[in-house]
Amino acid sequence: MDFSIWKNIEFAHPAFFGLLALVPVMIYWYIARQQKRQVAMEMSSLQGLKGLPVSWKVKMRPLLLVLRLVAFSALVVALARPQTSNTSESIDSEGIDIVLAIDISGSMLAQDLQPDRLEAAKKVAMNFVDARISDRIGLVIFSGESFTQCPITTDHAVLKNQIAQVKSGMLQDGTAIGMGLATSVDRLRTSKAKSKVIILLTDGVNNTGLIDPLTALEIGKAFKIRVYTIGVGTVGKAPFPMTMPDGTIQMQMQDVQLDEPLMKKISAETGGKYFRATNNKDLENIYGEIDQLEKTKVEITSYKRFAEHFFPLAILALACILLEVVLRYTVFRSLP
């Protein structure tokens, strides 16, 4: 019998343990019965009986009571139905395939968000990834050209590592929104997911690239991809770090240029939504809202299986009863 299982044992009918209150009654009844069976004999002196050996049968007779008590206790525990349970879960998830398209052009180094636009975008993107446990997510970066930094994957640790490595200057400078959108659509066009989403973040105006944003928009619509667009930057002017001829960095205020009409058109025609982030808190709230809008359907079905463990106790009780009967009518047999 494996006693290790008793660490996780449960009882289906614990009320039967109340029967164990009869154990003291059985002991009392046995002692009283033994006293009644003793025969009184008057003797002038017990001096001659001192030192006589006590028969082993007399010493071992309480064994009958022990066997009866063990049998009774084992039966009570068996009636309480000791059992262990094994719970398994079946998870059915309708995951969403998502591509994060992040602008890494030089203007993303503006410090109207802290420490700058790009670092703020990276931070909230990683938090967003942590919240999307069952989704496949990829990363596209763009500036004057676009590049798939990480294909859509469920390995979120790898994805977050790739996000952390993103920095401005990795690609030719400029703002090719059309290229960033087109590359993101290409990552999702073969997806079998029921829902396909792009979160496109930029702080500028499309000024370069081989693919026009409106062309990329039509391709996205053809593949039924929802696009959420995020415009980053304060209204008016923002502090930009500028490298001086002597190599020093100075902050200069420059106009914020953001093509909001284009961003709104892309999101509206694909069934998404446009957001404007002028500070870090705005950006966090935007990703939080997208997380709520794009909820993944996850169904968890639990199965609980019980294994019964009363049988060894029933066998123990039967063995004790049989042994008591055999000993009572053989070794410990007494005359009426």
pTM for this prediction = 0.63
Lowest-confidence pick of 67-76, 213-222, 257-266: 67-76
Q: Give CA–CA dist 233/325, Å, rounded.
A: 92
What domain range is 185 assigned to?
Answer: 97-301
Does residue 279 lie within any of the structural domains? Answer: yes
pLDDT at 38: 58
Tell whether 58 and 110 lie within a shared domain.
no
Supply 28's token pair. 């009392």
Give the range with max mean pLDDT: 7-16, 37-46, 92-101, 217-226.
Answer: 217-226
Q: Are 193 and 230 in contact (CB under 8 A)?
A: no
Query: How many domains is the chain partitioned into structurally?
Result: 2
Does residue 123 lie within any of the structural domains? Answer: yes
Q: Give CA–CA dist 136/128, Å, rounded.
A: 12
> For residue 286, what pLDDT band results from cuts at 50, 70 and 90?
very high
What's the chain's average pLDDT?
Answer: 86
Closest by CA to 197, choosing from 92, 104, 290, 260, is 290
Tell whether 138 and 201 lie within a shared domain.
yes
Task: Characterise 134 by phi-psi region: left (phi > 0), alpha (psi -120 to 50), beta (else).
Answer: alpha
Lowest-confidence pick of 93-97, 122-126, 215-219, 279-283: 93-97
Instruction: List, in sequence order, every beta strand (DSSP E) within the chain.
Output: 10-11, 82-94, 96-103, 136-142, 146-153, 195-202, 226-232, 237-243, 249-255, 274-277, 297-308
pLDDT 10s digits, 117-164: 999 999 999 999 999 988 999 999 999 999 999 999 999 999 999 999
Lowest-confidence pick of 188-197, 221-230, 235-244: 235-244
CB pairs under 8 A, 24+ apart, for 85-90?
A: 85/10, 85/304, 85/305, 85/306, 85/307, 86/304, 86/305, 86/306, 86/307, 87/302, 87/303, 87/304, 87/305, 88/302, 88/303, 88/305, 89/300, 89/301, 89/302, 89/303, 90/300, 90/301, 90/303
For residue 224, give the DSSP letter: T
Does residue 43 lie within any of the structural domains? Answer: no
Lowest-confidence pick of 103-107, 137-141, 215-219, 238-242: 238-242
Residue 62 predicted with pLDDT over 70: yes
Does residue 199 lie within any of the structural domains? Answer: yes
Does residue 157 lie within any of the structural domains? Answer: yes
CATH number, domain of 216, equals: 3.40.50.410
Average pLDDT over residues 230-243: 89
Q: Give CA–CA dist 233/236, Å, rounded.
A: 9
Select the more confidently predicted residue: 9 or 128. Answer: 128
List helix spans (H) across 80-135: 117-131
pLDDT at 108: 94
